[in-house]
A and B are shown apart, each in its own frame.
Chain A
Amino acid sequence: MSVNKPPIIQFKGVSKKYKDLLALDDVSFDIKQGEIFGYIGPNGAGKTTSIKILVGLISNYEGAVFIKNILINKAKKDLHKFMGYLPQEAGFQEWRTVDHALKTFGKLSGLKGIQLEKRISEVLNTVNLLNFRYKKIAQLSGGMQQKLLFAQAILNKPEILILDEPLSGLDPTSRYQIKKMIKEFAKKEVTILFSSHILSDVQDFADKIGILNHGKLLQVGSPEELQQKLDVSHIIEIEYKEKSPFLSHLDKYPSIISINNETPKKNIQEIQLDVNSDIESSIYILLQEIINQKAYIRGFNLLKPNLEDVYLKYIKDDDK
């Protein structure tokens, strides 16, 4: 784990304005060496702007961004040597073949000769594009081009891998394959920043998550920390064999916030519990009442808030 490791990426009070639009508002966070940082937020939240600042494509902003304690604007060229970047949108010149594109990028990154040839074979093998090595890029499908973008990002064996929406526009199979590749890469102690507007894309493997909305970083923390920080009630979902019993009188208990008999699903009742209450006692009371009323149940589920709820809660609260 990366608990005691030093921060390798640091954003300190970064703000960026496009004319009248404040794209980033005093954003600060750091990512430790070997950590996988899931950077999430809705479209237009400012994720790509922050990433472009980090990779040096935008140099006009307020605040400071450090990589390995070096201010990025001071040593962009040196820092690019150990960075890999998969942009959200990127194109290749139409005359290039897969091999030619990777050779050019490899040479520009300092690789050459047999070492470069070998590395190209390795990365194409990783992304399952070895059979397409001498094909023109324009002839590849969207998913294959995305894999090629991933291949160019890992070509120079980067210490820091920055992936801007790497799964957008992909079919489920390609999404699975790219996720698998990222997980494999993460095992090699590479620091990864992974942006997405879909939380489920990052929640499987992110050590830390940053939630961005309207240019503001709303929360940063591990998935567990974010769940704990949030005051979201627990829901008990009970599925009955027949009609739901009358339980409304139970809302006198302080731990039960509400009882909903009119859910969209048939014969299902939702009981909302106070997150700070004694959940076990509430379950006991509920079960006893169900037995007393001789109601037959098919299912009894305690639904804890998942990261999707956490994310939506933060975004909705901020939008208010």
Chain B
Amino acid sequence: MSLLLLYLDELKGYYKSKVMIILWIGLPLLSILFNYLNLDTEGVPMSYLVGILIASIGGILSSVMLSTSITSELNHHVYELFLIRPIKRTHLIVAKFCAVYTCIVIATFISLSFGLIIDFLKGGLPNMNIVIHTFESIFFTLAAIAIACAAGILIGINVSNVAASAILSVYLGGQLSILSVLPSLILPGVINPIFFGLILGVCLTLILLLIASYIFNKKQL
């Protein structure tokens, strides 16, 4: 019960944040801008490009947002007011992760929808293979973002300086999130890249969240 309450509460906080406004409005606008700039996409549909864009920007932004907000909130003793109520420390972390991840997923689908609309207005929907390929990339993207978010939480809990927290999450979060595409790069054609990418994404995210939760439970506030 407290997890749901905390999740909805965090969601309220994040969806109004400046970073989320960039993701929710800025990125879909970028797809329109690309169209007006008449960028040479070498035949790659706009929806696909937007998907890739979200993957790179969204992953890093979410990781930085989580790490810096946790570091800052720990420094300002924000969690003490929560933890003196009947809730679990782990719920605080999981709620934060879920809230940011939900916002990113929504931003991804809004942007993708914009891309598809632009493609449609330019000359009809791209062929089915390209659409499927786009959605496959989105799955990779979401797995990578999940890893980046979990890394952001782990960094936020352990680093006491906000700037250091941001820098670390840009590098470490970004590097770790790439792991989700490794199976398809190392063993192309041998394994189903979507399936293994997702499995790796989920497992790595869970491991990072478990470590973060363990450390947060032991942490003296």
A175 on the B face (CB < 8 A): no
B26 on the A face (CB < 8 A): no
Chain A residue with Cβ nearest B69: A93
A74-109 residues at the B interface, CB under 8 angstroms: 77-78, 80-81, 83, 85, 87, 89-93, 95-96, 100, 104-105, 107-109
User: Once bound together, how far apart are the Cα atoms of A90 and B85, in whole Å?
Assistant: 14
B195 on the A face (CB < 8 A): no
CB < 8 Å neighbour of B13 from A52, A81, A87, A96:
A96
A90-B81, A108-B2 in contact; A95/B9 too (CB < 8 A)? Answer: no
Count of B interface residues, CB-CB < 8 Å:
24
Chain B residue with Cβ nearest A61: B220
User: Once bound together, how far apart are the Cα atoms of A83 and B86, in whole Å?
Assistant: 10
A58 on the B face (CB < 8 A): yes
User: Once bound together, how far apart are the Cα atoms of A81 and B83, in whole Å?
Assistant: 11
B1-53 residues at the A interface, CB under 8 angstroms: 2, 5-6, 9, 12-13, 16-17
A93-B13, A96-B13, A104-B5 in contact; A152/B221 too (CB < 8 A)? Answer: no
Tell me if B76 and A91 are in contact (CB < 8 A): yes
Tell me if B17 and A95 are in contact (CB < 8 A): yes
Q: Which residues of A contact B13 (CB under 8 A)?
A: 93, 95-96
A3 on the B face (CB < 8 A): no
A252-285 residues at the B interface, CB under 8 angstroms: none
A110 on the B face (CB < 8 A): yes
Chain A residue with Cβ nearest B78: A91
Chain B residue with Cβ nearest A112: B5
Question: In angstroms, how far is the closest chain A Cβ from the Cβ of B57?
Answer: 22
Tell me if B78 and A93 are in contact (CB < 8 A): yes
Q: Which residues of A contact B81 (CB under 8 A)?
A: 87, 90, 92, 105, 149, 152
Question: In angstroms, how far is the closest chain A Cβ from the Cβ of B217?
Answer: 9
B177-221 residues at the A interface, CB under 8 angstroms: 218, 220-221
Q: Which residues of B contact A105 (CB under 8 A)?
A: 81-82, 85
Q: Which residues of B contact A291 (CB under 8 A)?
A: none
Question: In angstroms, how far is the closest chain A Cβ from the Cβ of B81?
Answer: 5
B133 on the A face (CB < 8 A): no
B130 on the A face (CB < 8 A): no
B119 on the A face (CB < 8 A): no
A60-B220, A95-B16 in contact; A108/B78 too (CB < 8 A)? Answer: no
Q: Which residues of A contact B6 (CB under 8 A)?
A: 108
What 1/0 flags go to A117-144 for Cβ under 8 Å of B?
0000000000000000000000000000
Tell me if B84 and A56 are in contact (CB < 8 A): yes
Tell me if A55 and B76 are in contact (CB < 8 A): no
Tell me if A104 and B9 are in contact (CB < 8 A): yes
What 1/0 flags go to A45-79 for Cβ under 8 Å of B?
00000001001111010000000000000000110
A58-B220, A95-B16, A95-B17 in contact; A77/B73 too (CB < 8 A)? Answer: no
Given contacts A60-B218, A110-B86, 19 further A-B contacts (CB under 8 A): A52-B221, A55-B84, A57-B80, A57-B83, A57-B84, A57-B221, A58-B220, A60-B220, A77-B86, A77-B88, A80-B85, A81-B86, A83-B84, A85-B80, A90-B76, A91-B73, A96-B13, A108-B6, A108-B86
